[in-house]
Amino acid sequence: MTDAAIKAMIHLLDDSDQEVVSMVEQQIRTLGPSIIPVLESEWETESLNPILQSKIENLIHDFQWQSVKTRLQVWKESGGMDLLEGMWILATYRYPDYSYEQLKLEMDQLYYEVWPQMREELHPMDQVKVLNTVMFEQLKFGPNSKNFHAANNSFINNVLSSKKGNPISLCVIYMWIAQKLGLPIYGVNLPNLFVLTYKQNGLQFYINVFNKGLIFNRIDIDNYIAQLNLTSNEIYYNPCSNLEIIRRVIRNLMMAYEKAGEQEYKDELTELIELLD
């Protein structure tokens, strides 16, 4: 269908006959996300028609939302091997123009900040300290303590631009760089806190990225679990999957939108949790 024909259909969304409007909307929806550029162009030209603009906005959102769900389903079914891709898919929920190539470029730039300073002969804890120095002292990444529950703390594009985030988003960035450097560092799903673990050849310790990469041990986790009056569980000590990480990021977003009173976003994200389950 030509752009002119699509534009003609879009203008029929403002028809006085609701049956016509319904039929046209159904037809537009069959065209899929590829018509989003045409919809955006028409939205810009209809500044004097807020009703039509609103209908166009709803169509654009629905197309973009369907794209997010489709991408995440494909990501899950392919094994969820690329954590960065999963984080990018979640970012496109609110930032649909953000590209994976842009994200990869930004992450690669961080890696090249760390790589020249890393030495293979260093003890693993000293390697972690080098990474801490670059991340938190040179690049100035840190926790967003003032606005901890903000949704932007879970969108990796915002965290990269502001250098502020929540525990899991900071851990994802830190872990990706560490693994690209060849360090066996993985995510650990603690209650109320997401941390990292170095685990290889009988050596295991933990890293609290939200606290400038503080290194701690299993006994510290024992004490933390005891303070929360929880029963000890092996999941609190061992690496978790990328799928579990993405689930937790979504739950953080759901909580953020609930606190902000944006129930419609929370409801949509509930669909993503169900899709991943």
Q: Three-state SS for 170?
A: helix
Q: Which residues contact 14 (CB under 8 A, 6 or more apart)?
A: 21, 49, 51, 52, 55
72-105 pLDDT per residue, tens: 999 999 999 999 999 999 999 999 999 999 999 9
Mean pLDDT across the stretch 31-38? 86
122-159 pLDDT per residue, tens: 999 999 999 999 999 999 999 998 998 999 999 999 99
Selection from 167, 180, 56, 164 nearest residue 107 by Cα: 180
- How does DSSP classify residue 238? S
Instruction: Strands of 34-156 (E only): list them.
Output: 142-143
Question: Does residue 47 register a pLDDT over 70?
Answer: no
pLDDT at 3: 82
Selection from 96, 33, 48 nearest residue 6 by Cα: 33
What's the whole-model pTM score? 0.90
